[in-house]
Structure 1
Amino acid sequence: MSNSEKALQMHEQWNGKLETTAKAHVNSREDLAIAYTPGVAEPCKVIAKDPEAAYKYTIKSNTVAVVSDGSAVLGLGNIGALAAMPVMEGKAVLFKEFGGVNAVPICLDTQDTEEIIRTVVNIAPAFGGINLEDISAPRCFEIETRLKELLDIPVFHDDQHGTAIVVLAGIINALKVTKKEKETCRVVVNGAGSAGVAITKLLLNYGFKDITMCDINGIISKDSENLNWMQKEMAKVTNLKNASGTLA
C-alpha cells in the first residue's frame, strides 16, 4: 500500500482528525449547576467587567484559530475551503501534539479580502491567537497586516513566518558548517510568493546583504513586468545590481 493510499484509508478511518472533549464532567446536578447554569454566570460577570479575565476563565487562554480560504493549499493551489479542511485539521493536530495548544480549523467559503478580515475580527474574541494558513499572495500580506492592526491578539501567517523561521534556522547552521559570513554570502530565493517574500524579509533583517529573488519568469528586478505590489516593494531592496535572466 502506498503512502497516498494509506493516507486516504486513515482519513476515512479517523473521519476527522479532531474531536471536542470536556474538561468539566457532568455527573450530578451540582456538577451541572457549576459548569452551566446558574454557576456559569459568575465568570461571565467577571469577564464583562474585565475582558482580560477571559484568559483566566475560558479556553481563550490556550486556543488558536487556524484560518484558511483554500486559495493556496500546499502544492495543490486554489482548491477551495472544503478541500482545505484535511490540511487545517492536520495543522490543528500539530499545534496540540507538539505545542499543547488547542486549535480549531476555520475554513472560510470566501476569497474576498475584506470579507475574510471582517470574519476573523468577528470570531477573534473566542481565540488567543490567529494562525493564517494557505491564503494566496498578495492578498495574504494585506490580510495579515490589517488583522494585526485591528486585533489585540497575535496574528501569525504560517506560510510566511513559519517558513521563514525554519529557513533562517537552517541557514544559520549552514553558515557555521561552511564557515561563511552572512555579510559576504550571495543568496538566491527561488519563489516570490508569500513564503519567498517572508524568507527574504527575514534574511535581510538578519543581515544578509546580497539577495536575489526569482519567480516563474526568472530574476526579479526593478524592470520586471507583471509584479504584484509586494514584489515591487521587494525589488527595491533585493537584486541591487539590477541583474536579469533566468534562475540558472
Structure 2
Amino acid sequence: MKDNTLIEVKGLQKVYGGKKSIFLSTKKVTAVKDVSFSIREGETFGLIGESGSGKTTVGRMILRLIDPTSGSIIYNGHSLMDLSKKEMAALRKEVQIVFQDSGSAFNPRKTIGSQIAQSLLKFGDNSDSQLIHKETLRMLEVVGLRADFYDRYPHELSGGQRQRAGIARALILKPKFLVLDEPVSALDVSVKAQIINLLMDLQKEFNLTYLFIAHNLDLVAYFCDRVAVLSKGEVIETSSTMELFKNPKHEMTKKLLSSILTLHGDLGEVYRNRNVI
C-alpha cells in the first residue's frame, strides 16, 4: 500500500445461502462480487449505487460486522481478516459506524447520554465514571447538543438531533475511520445540510477518514473526494468526484447521474459549484 492509504479492500465477496441439508436447500446469492478500492487517510470516499447494489454490505464487511466470504481488508497496514474477535473488538476504538436509521440505532429505554458513555465503558481505557460523564458531555457539545440532552430518551429528540447523538457515540472513542451509512437519507433537506457540514467540520478537527455510503448524488458532489460506483455487487467505475461528474464512463453511472442532470443541467457544473445542498 501507499503510505497515505488507510483502507485497502481487495477482491471482497459476500455470498449468502447455498447450504444443503436433508430438509432444506438454499440458493446461492452473491451480494458483493470482487470489490476492490482503497481509501486514503483524511479523505471522504463515496460508495454509490442503486438500492440493493451491495453498498451497505461492503461497509459492514469492512468493519467486520459481517464476515466476508472471501477477499482481504487491510487497515493501516494490518489485515482485518486475520484478527480474532477479541482483537477486532480492541480495534473498535479506531473504526466506527454512523447508521442510517438513528431511531433504531438507540435503545429506546436508555438515555442518550448513557448510551454514548457505554461506548467508553465497553471499548475505552478508562473506567472512571466521573471522567466518562465529563467526556460524554463534551462530546455532546462537539456535535451541537446541549448538556441536558444527556438525560433525554431517543424519542424526545428529532431525527437530526438523534443523528448528532449517533455521531457523538462514534466519535467519543476517538476513531480514525468512520463508515457513514447513508447518515442523512431520512432527514429534511435543511437538516441534511447541517449534518453534512458538521461532518466536514469534524473531519478537519479530528483528522477523520470517511467512507460515505449514499444514493443522493447531490451530497456526493458536495462531500466526497473520490467515488466508487457499485452495480449488482460489483465496482464498475472509480474516479475523483470531479472526473465522475464531468466525464462518467459507464452507462450505469450515467443513468445514476441523469437524475440530478435534470435538476441542475451540466454535471460538471454541479461539482464545480459544490453548493447543491
Indicate the structure whose relative CO is greater, using CA pairs within 8 Å and at least 6 residues apart: 2
- Short-chain TM bin: 0.3 to 0.5
Structure with greater proportional helix content: 1
**Larger Rg computed on CA atoms:** 1
Higher strand residue share? 2
Q: TM-score, normalised by structure 2?
A: 0.30
